[in-house]
Amino acid sequence: MLSYASRTVRGVRLEALELGSGRRLLFLHAGYGLDFEAASLERLATQAQVIAPTHPGFGGSERPSSMTTVDDVAYLYLDLLQELDLRDVTLVGVSLGAWIAAEIAVKSTERLAKLVLSSAVGIKVGNRETRDIADIFAMTEDEFNAAAFADPAVAVRDYKSMPEAQVLRVAKNREALARFAWSPYMHNPKLSSRLHRVNVPTLFLWGSRDHIVSQDYGRAYCAAVPGARFELIEAAGHFPHIEQPEVFAANVLDFMECDGSSRRFV
């Protein structure tokens, strides 16, 4: 088990992984849960101060009963940025975390320097009979792994030998994801019409073999964010930070460093 710090934001106790030093990076995890994402954080922490909270209701983080939507979570993280007085933060999210990050950015970019959205869900692109985002709640775990990973073998878990506490976290994460994303499925119908408000440099990262959300979906998402850039990561599915942690981190760190792209100059 990873060693989590404890943070209290607006009275809500959240666990968080905090590592590294340097420029500030707030990492928002996928529905999968932070336990399986640590490798990419370690890479990021070689050049950045990474704060990676577990979302409310996931893992060891509390969820106040009033917190039922991704919107609520976005406001909580805006409060986190304010309470810690963090500025010039690079906000990085993957999948569900990218949806939360986009909801934060359309509300306020005051404390953000840059935005990285990987394998993002959160918007509706196709028509009413086109399913943009694979229905993961209609899949077995094997089917999900086949769709979400370039190499499904890396995702296979042996629950029988897994410590009980971690199995409980897996079960808790699955429920928390459904609470926030069951319907409307994995998106907020209002979000796409608000993305024009994102006024910080934005990078989209997409696994070349993502069969949960397609490249076309990612490119449409990217096109809705002013000036955003789109990069593919090869040999990765829906979780490029898990399958290609070094490439993922290098893309994020390069983007953090690149010139002329701080919000001051936009």
Partner 1 sequence: MSGPVRVYHFTEQPYPDAWKDHAGSLRVTLPNRRLDPVIAADLLNRYYDEWALADELGLDVMVNEHHQTATCMSSTSIVALSVLARITKRARILILGYPIGHRTDPLRVAEELAMVDVVSRGRLDMGFIKGVPYEFACSNQNAVGVMDRFWEAHDFIIKAMTSHDGPFNWESENFHYRQVNIWPRPYQKPHPPVWSTTASRGNARVLGERGYVMSVLGSGYSTRPVYDAYREGYKAAGRGTAPADRFGYLGLVSVAATEQKARERAEIIATYLRSSEFVAPAFKNPPGYLAIEDNARLLKGQTPPRSATKDGRKIDMRKASVQELIDAAVMFCGTPDQVFEQITDFADHCGGMGNLLMMGHAGALSHTETVDNLTVFAKEVLPRLKTYRQPTLDDAIAAA
Among 43, 136, 44, residue whose Cα is nearest residue 95? 136
d(CA 87, CA 51): 13
User: How many Å apart are CA 44 and CA 154, to the nearest integer?
Assistant: 21
Half-sphere exposure of 38 (CA within 13 A, CB side): 10
Site residues (CB under 8 A) for partner 1, limited to 118-157:
137-140, 143
For residues 194 to 233, the per-residue mask of contacts with partner 1, x marking binding by CB under 8 A and - elsewhere, is ----------------------------------------
> Distance between CA atoms of 89 and 73, rounded to whole angstroms?
18
182 is an interface residue for partner 1 by CB under 8 A? yes
Residues in the chain: 266
Selected from 5, 167, 258, 266, the binder of partner 1 by CB under 8 A is: 167
Helix (H) / strand (E) element for 48: namely strand 48-53
Distance separating alpha carbons of residues 128 and 143, to the nearest angstrom: 24
Closest Cα partner for 135 from 177, 75, 80? 177
45, 56, 57, 253 from 7: Cα distances, Å: 19, 12, 14, 25
Nearer to partner 1, 161 or 264 (CB): 161
Which one, 178 or 235, has the nearer CB to partner 1? 178
Spatial contact of 154 and 136, defined as CB atoms under 8 Å apart: no
Based on the shown chain and the rule CB under 8 A, indicate whether residue 174 belongs to the binding site for partner 1.
yes
Between 85 and 129, name the residue whose CB sits nearer to partner 1.
129
Among 63, 114, 172, 187, binds partner 1 (CB under 8 A): 172
**Minimum Å distance from CB 55 to partner 1?**
14
| 64 binds partner 1 per the rule CB under 8 A | no
Q: CB of 171: closest distance to partner 1 in angstroms? A: 4
Interacting positions 65-84 with partner 1 (CB under 8 A): 68
* Least distance between partner 1 and beta carbon 161 (Å): 10
Binding footprint of partner 1, residue count (CB under 8 A): 21
Give the 3-state secondary structure of residue 229: strand
d(C-alpha 33, C-alpha 242), whole Å: 11
Q: Of 90-98, 148-156, 175-183, 210-218, which segment contacts partner 1 by CB under 8 A?
A: 175-183
Q: Rule CB under 8 A: which residues touch partner 1?
A: 68, 137-140, 143, 159-160, 164, 167-168, 170-172, 174-175, 177-179, 182-183
